[in-house]
Structure 1
Amino acid sequence: MPGQKLYPRATVKKIVKAHSNCNVSKNADVMMFLDYMLFLQNLIKEATIEAKQGGERGITARSVRKVTADSLAKFRG
């Protein structure tokens, strides 16, 4: 639907501010959301490769667990 928000911006800003005790700039929440979406895209891609190499018919929790650590390492700052 046009105009529908993907996530509550104010809620994200409040959570980040509560955990870091810092103010969040105007569009920092957008950058965090986009980085999160890139992480999920990478995780699914790697899990798909792992599942195919393991002879599985689809992505399973096991294939996701195997690639999670590597995907997290790629997205650490």
Structure 2
Amino acid sequence: MARPTPLYPRATLKRIIKAHSNRPLSKNIDVLIYLDYALFLQDLMREAAIRSRQVGEKGISSRSIRKVRENTLRKFKG
């Protein structure tokens, strides 16, 4: 069976996290950060879809994403 390709480059992400942090990191911190990012995008798109429907748009526009971006970012701020 062929090995699946990774969703993101783990080594690169770990290097970036380590460069921006002066703290010791757990072994799977990159996985946790990636999952948090995926949840953020899912929530952002859901809120943008709701906003689009409320204002009568047929699809999700960049304007609806900009309108819900701040609230979504506040939810995910650690």
The aligned amino acid for 1:36 is Y
CA RMSD of aligned residues (A): 1.3
Distance 1:43 1:2 in 2: 31
Q: What SS does the corresponding residue of 2:33 show, helix, strand or coil? A: helix
Residue of structure 2 in register with 1:10 after alignment: 11
TM-score normalised by structure 2 residue count: 0.92
CA distance in 2, matches of 1:53, 1:37: 25
Per the normalisation by structure 1, the TM-score is: 0.93
Deviations 1:32-71 (A, max 9, x none): 0000000000000000000000110100000000000000
Give 1:64's aligned residue. 65
Conserved? CA contact 1:9–1:29, under 8 Å: yes
Q: Contact conserved, 1:13 with 1:24, CA < 8 A, in 2? A: no
Structure 1 runs (4+) greater than 3 angstroms displaced: none
Give the number of equivalent residue pairs: 77
Pairing 1:14-33 to 2, within 5 Å after superposition:
14-33=15-34
User: 5+ unaligned residues in a row in structure 1: which ranges?
Assistant: none
Gaps of 5+ in 2: none
Q: AA paired with 1:30?
A: V
What is the identity, as a one-letter code, of the residue corresponding to 1:59? Answer: I
